[in-house]
């Protein structure tokens, strides 16, 4: 009995210890949730600090807690453009805010339309006598497009600034695939539909080069015009006309070269920059660290300035990222998810609808599913407008066709009206290693499609015919939407990509403007006065664990590996380019081997910031037809 009693006491002790541990964990988790969630009570007089350690995006990507916790790496930051614009515009008229500070040390980039929207908000703040100050170790094109609107641009003396302009090389795999004995079967319609060229060529086609030169030329002209307008004394021609001579004139000191050419206004360390902000915003009563100043961060500021919801609701649905089949997203435009959001809103008695598009397209089937869901709102006889952000091309234009009016910016990339599919077969590779195929067929389609024995001519013909039919459907939808003939659409289609200015001239876009102009137009058509309506973002759910996960993984961010990788000087920018190249190769390989369905995708459009390749497999018309043929 004595021994049994000792065992029992040990077991009771273990039970009590575990209970205590779980109770402590519970209260720790509760505290973490409560403190991680931003609160208006955290707003303080001083500066509004926008520490942009990541990308500016249209819609934040969903955070997968399990993946993040297992990887142990903090996800790269994403900042919704509408949040930043709203925060800056409210700060411009709020007496609690003395200055707006942009810390761009770890800023990676954003789309040109988004950055220009933020720039316009910064100009409003300056006009309201709120100084805007920026700091970075190294400024690239995207950071410079933001910093150009600042009252004071600071750079670290060991850093610098450089302007490269849009464009660059992309990779072509035709020779590699030939060496590997992989047959990339390409099915497409569109002379300019260069999305498939990386798998069928070793260089850029003349048609693609013509299209790229026109597109990038227009984007570069807009970038220069915006930056020169914001910084009239900037010696941009000297910087881009003779970059080597410009740098060598300062003996290789990139920071001094940037200062002399007018890219930046001040050289100084992070502490010296903080001391300058302190002169405007006041001392931080809680933090005695050198360079600390009174400030409010973005999240609590947004929690404090939540807009009122007067009158009728105008819905806004966001189509951001690649359009894929299924429930993917946010940050990726899952066709099922977005269609469901739109259908659920049918019961909300919306006064109008704005479709915000920032997508290079993707699955034809998913694009059509979204288009049909928008048409169900149109059947309710409400005004519908499309607001194009950085990219609304291919499938991104497909989903825009139900609109009563299409708004875009001069920097918007649109068009790319074309269809393609790529399917790899391995008959040559199999034969090379001694694998041969033989059998009996009752018809030309027996056993097809066969990835190891290759496709019969009949299968190739059927697949190409299906692509041509999809293109005809695309033309018909655009023609009906834009009041053009299919022949007219075909002439401006063929996969060609257009900038917003050219798109307006040829009738693909109705007028210049952003989401505010689109909302105002819908309100006017719905006969709503100012103050009698509010915006209802469809599917704009708050993910309460997002900030908690970031805090658990990243701590205070001071010693996080992800942050260290994102910061740094111009050489660190080169390293990030290398990482981006690796990601691009992975995306190209995944796109070839995944055998997705019919695609209305603009691969030739500039890459969207922060968007990694998604592994969701397509399930479009082409994939379904292949399964049907295969039995």
Min mean pLDDT across 31-40, 336-345, 390-399, 525-534 is at 31-40
Higher pLDDT, 237 or 618: 237
Measured distance CA(255)–CA(582) in Å, rounded: 29
**Residue 427 pLDDT grade (very low, low, confident, very high; cuts 50, 70, 90):** confident
Read off the pLDDT of each residue in 430-446 and give the average, rounded to a whole number.
81
pLDDT (0 to 100) of residue 42: 78
* 52 within 8 A of 78, measured Cβ to Cβ: no
Segment (H or E) for 109: strand 109-110
**Residue 73 pLDDT grade (very low, low, confident, very high; cuts 50, 70, 90):** low
Min mean pLDDT across 108-112, 211-215, 266-270, 621-625 is at 621-625
Answer whether residue 577 shows pLDDT above 80.
no
Answer whether residue 595 shows pLDDT above 70.
no
Digit-coded pLDDT (tens) for 227-255: 999 999 999 999 999 999 999 999 999 99
Read off the pLDDT of each residue in 534-560 and give the average, rounded to a whole number.
61
Q: What strand order describes the sheet that includes 361-363? A: 183-189, 419-425, 599-601, 361-363, 323-324, 333-334
Measured distance CA(66)–CA(69) in Å, rounded: 5
Measured distance CA(29)–CA(13) in Å, rounded: 24
Measured distance CA(228)–CA(241) in Å, rounded: 15
Active site residues: 193, 394
**Residue 616 pLDDT grade (very low, low, confident, very high; cuts 50, 70, 90):** very low
pLDDT (0 to 100) of residue 604: 65
Answer whether residue 27 shows pLDDT above 90.
no
Nearest-CA neighbor of 583 among 564, 563, 608? Answer: 608
pLDDT (0 to 100) of residue 139: 95
pLDDT (0 to 100) of residue 140: 92
Percent residues over pLDDT 70 in the chain:
80
Q: 19: which residues sit within 8 A by CB, 6+ positions away? A: none
Answer whether residue 560 shows pLDDT above 60.
no
Higher pLDDT, 365 or 602: 365
pLDDT (0 to 100) of residue 39: 61
Q: Which residues of 258-296 are buried (b: 16+ CB within 10 A; e: fewer)?
A: bbebbbbbebbbbebbbebbbebbbebeeeeeebbbbbb
pLDDT (0 to 100) of residue 122: 98
* 157 within 8 A of 270, measured Cβ to Cβ: no
**Residue 98 pLDDT grade (very low, low, confident, very high; cuts 50, 70, 90):** very high
Read off the pLDDT of each residue in 166-187 and give the average, rounded to a whole number.
87
Read off the pLDDT of each residue in 20-27 and give the average, rounded to a whole number.
66
Nearest-CA neighbor of 333 among 355, 359, 315, 353? Answer: 359
Read off the pLDDT of each residue in 110-117 and give the average, rounded to a whole number.
96
pLDDT (0 to 100) of residue 421: 85
Question: 3-state DSSP: the chain helix, strand, coil percent, rounded to 5?
Answer: 45, 20, 35
pLDDT (0 to 100) of residue 28: 54
Integer angstrom CA distances of residue 612 from 90, 187, 616: 32, 25, 12
The two beta strands, 361-363 and 599-601, are: antiparallel
Read off the pLDDT of each residue in 259-275 and give the average, rounded to a whole number.
96
- Domain covering 40-163+231-304 in this structure, CATH number: 3.90.226.10
Measured distance CA(465)–CA(98) in Å, rounded: 63
Measured distance CA(54)–CA(82) in Å, rounded: 16
Long-range contacts of 212-215 (CB under 8 A, 24+ apart): 212/167, 212/604, 214/499, 214/502, 215/413, 215/497, 215/498, 215/499
Measured distance CA(422)–CA(401) in Å, rounded: 26
**Residue 189 pLDDT grade (very low, low, confident, very high; cuts 50, 70, 90):** confident
Higher pLDDT, 549 or 336: 336
Measured distance CA(26)–CA(13) in Å, rounded: 20
Nearest-CA neighbor of 320 among 355, 353, 357? Answer: 357
Measured distance CA(631)–CA(620) in Å, rounded: 17
Digit-coded pLDDT (tens) for 45-71: 999 999 999 999 999 987 766 666 666
Average pLDDT, the chain: 84
Nearest-CA neighbor of 281 among 95, 45, 42? Answer: 45
* 59 within 8 A of 84, measured Cβ to Cβ: no
Query: Which residues are 184's β-sheet partners?
Result: 424
* 389 within 8 A of 356, measured Cβ to Cβ: yes
Query: Which residues are 50's β-sheet partners?
Result: 102
Strand runs (DSSP E) across 302-351, as ranges? 312-320, 323-324, 333-334
pLDDT (0 to 100) of residue 575: 60
Other C-beta atoms within 10 Å of 402: how many? 22
**Environment class of 429 (CB within 10 Å of its CB; exposed 0-12, middle 13-18, buried 19+):** middle
pLDDT (0 to 100) of residue 398: 96
Over its C-alpha atoms, the chain yields an Rg (Å, rounded) of 27
Q: 228: which residues sit within 8 A by CB, 6+ positions away? A: 234, 236
Higher pLDDT, 170 or 223: 223
Digit-coded pLDDT (tens) for 370-425: 999 999 999 999 999 999 999 999 999 999 999 999 999 999 999 999 988 888 88
DSSP 319: E
Measured distance CA(287)–CA(298) in Å, rounded: 18
Answer whether residue 536 shows pLDDT above 60.
yes
Rounded to 5 degrees, φ, ψ at 576 are -65, -35
Measured distance CA(511)–CA(513) in Å, rounded: 6
Residue 74, helix vs strand vs coil: coil
Higher pLDDT, 335 or 588: 335
Read off the pLDDT of each residue in 287-301 and give the average, rounded to a whole number.
91
Could you tell me how many residues make up the chain?
A: 631
**Environment class of 383 (CB within 10 Å of its CB; exposed 0-12, middle 13-18, buried 19+):** buried
Ramachandran assignment for 525, one of left (phi > 0), alpha (psi -120 to 50 degrees), beta (any other): alpha
pLDDT (0 to 100) of residue 599: 80
Q: 41: which residues sit within 8 A by CB, 6+ positions away? A: 300
Answer whether residue 547 shows pLDDT above 60.
no
Query: Which residues are 600's β-sheet partners?
Result: 362
Its sign, for the CA torsion 166, 167, 168, 170, is positive
Answer whether residue 215 shows pLDDT above 70.
yes
Read off the pLDDT of each residue in 219-223 and give the average, rounded to a whole number.
95
pLDDT (0 to 100) of residue 244: 94
Measured distance CA(577)–CA(13) in Å, rounded: 56
Rounded to 5 degrees, φ, ψ at 139 are -105, 125
DSSP 305: T
* 61 within 8 A of 332, measured Cβ to Cβ: yes
Answer whether residue 619 shows pLDDT above 50.
no
Min mean pLDDT across 95-104, 354-363, 541-550 is at 541-550
Nearest-CA neighbor of 58 among 513, 410, 514? Answer: 514
Read off the pLDDT of each residue in 316-345 and give the average, rounded to a whole number.
93
Give the residue extent of every domain in the chain.
Answer: 40-163+231-304
């Amino acid at each position: 009995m004595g021994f049994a009693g000792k065992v029992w006491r040990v077991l009771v002790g273990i039970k009590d210890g575990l209970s205590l541990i779980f109770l402590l964990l519970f209260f720790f988790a509760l505290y973490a949730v409560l403190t991680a969630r931003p609160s208006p009570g955290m707003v303080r007089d001083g500066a509004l600090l926008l520490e942009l350690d990541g990308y500016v995006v249209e819609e934040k990507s969903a955070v997968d807690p399990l993946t993040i916790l297992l990887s142990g790496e903090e996800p790269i930051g994403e900042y919704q453009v509408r949040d930043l614009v709203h925060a800056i515009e409210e700060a411009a008229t709020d007496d609690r805010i003395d200055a707006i500070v942009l810390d761009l040390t770890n800023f990676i980039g954003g789309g040109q339309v988004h950055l220009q929207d933020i720039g316009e908000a910064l100009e409003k703040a300056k006009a309201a006598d709120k100084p805007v100050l920026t700091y970075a170790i190294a400024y690239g094109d995207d950071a410079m497009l933001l910093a150009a609107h600042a009252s004071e641009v600071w750079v670290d003396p060991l850093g610098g600034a450089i302007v490269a302009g849009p464009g660059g090389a992309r990779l072509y795999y035709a020779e590699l695939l030939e060496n590997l004995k992989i047959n990339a079967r390409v099915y497409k319609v569109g002379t300019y539909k260069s999305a498939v060229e990386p798998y069928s060529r070793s260089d850029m086609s003349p048609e693609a080069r013509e299209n790229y030169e026109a597109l990038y030329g227009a984007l570069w002209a807009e970038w220069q015009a915006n930056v020169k307008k914001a910084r009239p004394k900037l010696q941009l021609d000297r910087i881009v006309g003779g970059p080597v001579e410009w740098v060598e004139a300062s003996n290789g000191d990139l920071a001094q070269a940037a200062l002399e050419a007018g890219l930046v206004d001040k050289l100084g360390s992070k502490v010296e920059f903080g001391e300058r902000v302190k002169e405007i915003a006041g001392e931080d009563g809680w933090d005695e660290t050198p360079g600390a100043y009174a400030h409010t961060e973005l999240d609590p500021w947004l929690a404090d300035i939540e807009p009122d919801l007067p009158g009728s609701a105008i819905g806004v649905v966001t189509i951001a990222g690649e359009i894929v089949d299924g429930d993917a997203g946010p940050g990726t435009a899952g066709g099922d998810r977005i269609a469901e959001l739109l259908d659920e809103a049918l019961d909300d008695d919306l006064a109008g609808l704005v479709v915000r598009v920032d997508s290079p397209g993707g699955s034809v089937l998913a694009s059509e599913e979204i288009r049909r869901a928008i048409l169900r709102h149109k059947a309710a006889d409400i005004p519908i407008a499309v607001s194009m952000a950085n990219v609304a091309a291919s499938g991104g234009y497909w989903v825009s066709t139900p609109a009563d009016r299409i708004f875009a910016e001069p920097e918007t990339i649109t068009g790319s009206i074309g269809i393609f599919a790529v399917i790899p077969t391995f008959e040559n590779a199999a034969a090379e290693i001694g694998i041969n195929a033989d059998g009996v067929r009752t018809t030309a389609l027996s056993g097809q499609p066969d990835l190891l024995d290759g496709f019969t001519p009949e299968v190739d013909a059927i697949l190409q015919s299906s692509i041509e039919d999809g293109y005809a459907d695309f033309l018909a939808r655009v023609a009906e939407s834009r009041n053009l003939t299919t022949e007219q659409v075909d002439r401006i289609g063929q996969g060609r990509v257009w900038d917003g200015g050219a798109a307006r001239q040829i009738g693909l876009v109705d007028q210049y403007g952003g989401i505010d102009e689109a909302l105002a137009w819908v309100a006017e058509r719905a006969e709503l006065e100012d103050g009698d309506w509010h915006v209802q973002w469809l599917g704009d759910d708050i993910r309460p664990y997002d900030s908690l996960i970031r805090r658990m993984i990243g701590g205070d961010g001071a010693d996080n590996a992800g942050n260290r990788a994102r910061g740094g000087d111009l050489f660190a920018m080169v390293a990030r380019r290398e990482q981006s190249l690796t990601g691009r190769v992975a995306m190209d390989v995944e796109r070839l081997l995944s055998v997705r369905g019919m695609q209305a995708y603009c691969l030739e459009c500039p890459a969207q910031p922060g968007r990694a390749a998604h592994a969701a497999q397509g399930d479009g018309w082409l994939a379904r037809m292949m399964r049907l043929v295969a039995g």
